[in-house]
Amino acid sequence: MLELIDRIQDRNQGELDDAAIMAISDACCVSPEYVRVTANRVQQGRRQDLKHKLKSISLALDPQDRRFVMSGLLGSTCALMTVLQAVTGDQYAVFGTLGLIGLGSALWNVALSQTARVATFSGAIFGLLFFISRSVFSMALHADLAFESVWLVPFVLGGALGGLVLQKVVAANRQRLGLKDPVEERQELLRQLVDLQERLREGEQSLTFLSLDIVGSTKMKEVADPLSVEFTFTEYHKFVEYAAHKFGGRVHSTAGDGVTCAFSDPQAAYQSARFIQAGLVELNTLRNKIGVPIQLRAGIHSGAVVAPHGQDVTKINFAHVIDVASHLQKLSPPGGIAVSEAAAAQLVGGPRAVSDHVVEAEGYRMYVWQQRRIVPEAVSEHEGPPLSTPPKAPPFELGPST
C-alpha cells in the first residue's frame, strides 16, 4: 500500500485524490479511512508549502464530510464578505468580488457531490451557516444586517433544494462540462494499480529462513566475565555465518543473540541447521570461554517474499515467512530443529527426513529433529561390553513459546 501511495503521488505531483484512494483501498483490501490516514502521514513527512498542507488535511477527510465542512466554511465566508461590503462601503468592490467567488465555490462544491443526499445536506449547511454567520458578524461589526429568525427555515430549505437541483444538473451533463465519469476514472486507476502491483511483484521469490537463538543466554552472561562473553558470542556468530555460507545461504539479520539466515531452498537451510547443531560440540569445547555450553533452538520455514532494492534479501524487513520461522524456533526444544510442514515437504525424502513426529502447537504443524544421545547400559564385572548399544532418544518436549 505504501509503495502504491508513493508511486501515484510521484505521478500526480504529490497529490492523491478520492478516486485514487478508493482504488488503492480496493487493490490492497483495506478500508479507505486507513489509506487516507496513511497517505496523510506520508505527506506530513515531506516538506510542503501551505497549499499542499491544506490539500493534505482536506484529503484526510471522508469525501462526504469534506463537502459538509467546505459548505460551512464557504457559507461563513460569504456572510462575512456581505457584512464587510456594507460596513466599508466597498468602493473598489473587493469584498463583493470575494463574496461572489465564495458563492461560486460553494455552488461548485455542492454540484460535485457524488450523491443527491450529500448535495442536499451540503446546500442546507451552506444556507444555515450563511444565516447564522451573517447575524453574528453583523452584531460584532455593529451593522444592521441581521436576518429575522423566521427566515432561518427558508434559508436552510432553499439551500437544500438548490444543492439537489445543482447535483442533478451536473450529473446529467458531466461529459459536456468536461468532467470524468467517476466509474470510468476508478477503472482507469485500478488498471494503473494492477500494473504497479505487477512491477512490485517482479522481486517476488521463494526463500527459506532459518531462525536461531541461544537457550538461556541472559543467565549465561550474568555468571561469566564480560570479555569471555564477548569472545564466545563473537565466535558463535562467526560460526553461524560460516555455516550459512557453506550451504549457499547468508545471514539475513541479527537481533541480540538471535540470528536469521536466508537460503534459496529448504534443503540447504535444513543441512545448515544440522551442521550448526553438530558443530556446537567443537565450539563449546575449543572456543567457549564462558564455562556454560551453548544450546540452540532452530526454526525453519519457507514461503514467498518480495525482495526490493535489486533482489537484496537483507532488505526484507517485514515478511510473514520470517515471523513464522522465528515462532517455530521458540517452540523448538533445546538442541532441536523445528521444520514447518511447508519446508519439510520440499526436503529430499520429505518430512520423514526430519522426523516421524508430527507436532501441532499454537496453530502450527511442524516436524522436529532432535539430537540423539548414546547412553551405554551398565556393564557388570563378569560381562564384557555389549557388541552394540542402540541409541536412545530423550523424550520430546516442546520448548517455551515465549
| Grid cell digits, residue 264 | 534459496
Residue 61 has pLDDT above 70, yes or no: no
* pLDDT above 60 for 49: no
Better-predicted residue by pLDDT, 46 or 157: 157
Task: Give yes or no for residue 192 having a pLDDT over 80.
Answer: no
pLDDT on residue 129: 93
Task: Spell out the domain ranges in the chain.
Answer: 2-197, 204-370
Local structure of 212: helix, strand or coil: strand
- Tens-digit pLDDT profile for residues 339-394: 999 999 999 989 989 988 788 877 788 999 987 654 344 333 444 444 444 444 44
* 314: pLDDT strictly greater than 90: no
pLDDT confidence band for 115 (50 / 70 / 90): confident
The listed range with the strongest mean pLDDT (42-51, 201-210, 301-310) is 201-210
Candidate CATH numbers 3.90.1170.50, 1.20.1430.10, 3.40.50.450, 3.30.70.1230; the one for domain 204-370? 3.30.70.1230
Q: What is the mean pLDDT of residues 173-201?
A: 72
Q: In this predicted structure, which of 53-67, 124-138, 230-244 has the lowest mean pLDDT?
A: 53-67
Q: How far is CA 215 from CA 72, 301, 352, 373, 399, in A?
A: 64, 20, 26, 19, 10
Q: pLDDT for 274-284, tens place per residue? A: 999 999 999 99
Low-confidence winner among 52-56, 82-86, 234-238, 324-328 (lowest mean pLDDT): 52-56
Sheet holding 296-306, edge to edge: 250-255, 258-263, 204-214, 296-306, 336-340, 364-370, 358-361
